């Protein structure tokens, strides 16, 4: 088991089993399918590919996505029995982008975990938004925000909470 964030230990795929994720960036149209853990170690090239697709699409700034978040997404994908790529609305956000968004909307935290690569806003096209939210809440591994009007669920590896 790996410990994710402040919540209880989260059962991730056995340490010896590779971990793979698929993403579609809804703003850029870019896709990535990458095995970021080969069963023994993280794969730096695969992590760079994921980081690039999950970059701040407004200014192109790339930052490392927290590996705990990637592991959490693997577990969610497996628990939901999904075969689809995660559709990403927002991954990493630069401090400048986050400040601009926070000034425009009360729904954006001034100190968002997106800035630290610890949060992602996603949907899974082969599962309902409500099912994705329920599965994320059941793990108690971080924050879960539900935005049905905007068609995404916010998932982070901060302290467990929901809104």
Least confident of 28-42, 91-105, 137-151: 91-105
Is 50 exceeded by the pLDDT of residue 86?
Answer: yes
Q: Confidence band (pLDDT; 50, 70, 90) for 105?
A: confident
Average pLDDT over residues 91-120: 91
Tens of pLDDT along 51-82?
Answer: 999 999 999 999 999 999 999 999 999 999 99
pLDDT per residue as tens digits for the range 20-51: 999 999 999 999 999 999 999 999 999 999 99
Q: Is there a contact between 6 and 158 (Cβ–Cβ < 8 Å)?
A: yes
Contact indicator for 119, 158 with CB cutoff of 8 Å: yes
- Quick one: tokens of 38? 């080969």
Does pLDDT of 161 surpass 80? yes
pLDDT of residue 2: 39
Q: Per-residue pLDDT averaged across 79-103, rounded?
A: 95
Pair of tokens at residue 49: 């590919």
Spatial separation of the C-alpha atoms in residues 102 and 96, rounded to whole Å: 10
Percent of the chain scored above 70 by pLDDT?
Answer: 91
* 7 pLDDT higher than 80: no
Dist. CA 79–CA 41, nearest whole Å: 23
**Rounded mean pLDDT of the chain?**
91
Largest interatomic CA distance in the chain: 45
Give the Cα separation of 77 and 98 in Å (integer): 27
The CATH fold of domain 2-162: Muramoyl-pentapeptide Carboxypeptidase; domain 2 (3.30.1380)
Whether 85 contacts 24, CB under 8 Å: yes
pLDDT at 109: 81
Length of the chain counted residue by residue: 163
What whole-number distance in Å separates Cα of residue 44 and Cα of residue 12? 20
């Amino acid at each position: 088991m790996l410990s994710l964030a402040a919540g209880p230990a989260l059962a991730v795929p056995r340490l010896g089993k590779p971990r793979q994720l698929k993403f579609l960036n809804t703003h850029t149209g870019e896709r990535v399918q990458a095995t970021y853990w080969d069963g023994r170690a993280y794969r730096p090239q695969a992590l760079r590919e994921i980081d690039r697709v999950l970059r701040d699409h407004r200014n192109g700034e790339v930052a490392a996505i927290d590996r705990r978040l990637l592991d959490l997404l693997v577990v969610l994908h497996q628990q939901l029995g999904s075969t689809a790529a995660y559709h990403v609305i927002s991954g990493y956000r630069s401090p400048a982008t986050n400040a601009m968004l926070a000034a425009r909307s009360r729904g954006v935290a001034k100190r968002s975990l997106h800035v630290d690569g610890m949060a992602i806003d996603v949907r899974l096209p082969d599962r309902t938004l409500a099912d994705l939210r329920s599965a994320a809440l059941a793990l108690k591994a971080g924050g879960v925000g539900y935005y049905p009007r905007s068609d995404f669920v916010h998932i982070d590896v901060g302290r467990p909470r929901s809104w």
